[in-house]
Amino acid sequence: MFKAIENAQHIVLIAHINPDADSFGSASAMYTYLMRLEKKVTLFCVTERINPRLAFLPWFDKMRHQFPKSAELAISFDCGAYKRLGVEVPCDLINIDHHKSNEAYGTINVIDTTAISTTQVLYDAFNKHGIKINPKMATALYAGLLDDSHGFLAPKTDARSFKMASALTEAKADISACAQALFHHNSLAALRLKGMMFEKMYLLFDARVVIHLVTKEMMAITGGREVDCEAALEESMGLPHVELALMLRENRNGSIKGSLRSIGDLDVERMAKNFGGGGHRHAAGLDVEGSSLEACYQKLLTVIKEEF
C-alpha cells in the first residue's frame, strides 16, 4: 500500500455514501499523512449533505463531490461494497476496511475483519511503517474508534481498542471534541424525528423485535437526517427483551434504506445479504429500489418470522 502511495502524485481519498466518523476519520488521517509527503490530495464523497456532526474532524471543509480527472490512485475507507463508493473509480484503488462482507474490490485490499474500526486498520498500518501520528491524525483515528465501538460499549470492544485509545490520547487526540461531537450534541430536528419514530415504533414477537418504518413525510416534517434514524434504531436495542431491530426508511428518490441490529446469535448480515445488502453480524444494511415501504417491510417480515 505505501509503495503505491509513494508512486502516485495525485491521490483521491474516498469516504463512502453518507460517511460516518470511521470512514471520514480514516480519510482525514490519511489526508494529513499525504500532505506531509507533499502529495496532491483530494478528499471525495458523493454525498453532498455530510452529517455536520463530523465538522470537528480535520479537513472537513476540504471535501469535494466531483471525482478529479487527474487522479492516479484512489483509496477507499470503511466501504465494504463497491457500489457504496457512489462512483466508478477510473484508476488503481486501495480498499482499506474492516467489514467481514468486504468485496475485496480494490487493486490492493487492506482488510482486517478483527479490527473494531477502519481507523484501527489504518492505525496499525501507520505503526507498522513507523509513521509518526500527529495530533490531527490522532483525533481523526480516535473518532472512528470511538464511534464504531459506540463509545467503547460495543461487544467487540477489547484490550486492543483501549490500547489504541491510550496511544492516541498520548499522541494528543482531542478526545473531548470527539465525545462532544459524536455523543453529546443533539439537534432539535434529530430529537423531533426520534420522538416521532419512538411514538410510531412497534414491537413484535413478545417485544423481541422492534420495527421502525420511517416515511419521507416524517423526514420532511421534522427536518431530521438519515443518521438520526440510525441513532433511534440503536437506542431501541436497549429495550428489555429486544434481540432484533429493523428500520426501513424512504429516501427522497423513493428508494428504501434498511438497517438491522441484533444481539446474541442472530446474524443480521446473513439476513441483509438476502436483499443484496451487507455489514456485520450485529449491524447490517440494505438498499431496495422499486418497492413501497410497506411491500419491502412485508418481505423482510417473512425473513424475520423464520428466525422467531
Residues in contact with Mn ion by CB under 5 A are 22, 78, 118, 148
Pick the closer one to Mn ion by CB: 22 or 228.
22
Q: How far is the CB of 117 from Mn ion (least distance, A)?
A: 5
Alpha helix positions (H), the chain: 2-7, 21-36, 118-128, 135-148, 159-170, 175-179, 188-200, 216-222, 226-236, 268-273, 293-307
CB atoms within 10 A of CB 169: 13
β-bridge pairing 108-111 and 92-97? parallel
Q: Taking CB positions, which residue lies at the least distance from Mn ion?
A: 22
State in angstroms the smallest separation of the CB of 21 from Mn ion.
Answer: 9
Q: Which is nearer to Mn ion, 78 or 230 (CB)?
A: 78
Strands 244-250 and 256-262: antiparallel
- Between residues 224 and 279, which has the closer beta carbon with respect to Mn ion? 279
Task: For the CB of residue 85, give the shortest distance to Mn ion in the complex, in Å.
Answer: 15
The neighbouring-strand residues paired with 171 are: none
Minimum distance from residue 97 beta carbon to Mn ion (Å) = 8
Residue 118 beta carbon to Mn ion: minimum distance, rounded to whole angstroms: 5
CA distance 218 to 100: 33
In the complex with Mn ion, the residue whose CB is nearer, 93 or 143, is 143
Nearest CA among 116, 61, 75 for reference residue 283: 116
Nearest to 56 by CA among 120, 140, 135: 140
Q: Write down the least CB distance from residue 149 to Mn ion, Å.
A: 10
Q: Which residues touch 251 (CB under 8 Å, ≥6 apart)?
A: 216, 257
Task: Closer to Mn ion by CB, 22 or 226: give it.
Answer: 22
Looking at the Cβ atoms of 250 and 269, the one nearer to Mn ion is: 269
C-alpha cell at 258: 434498511
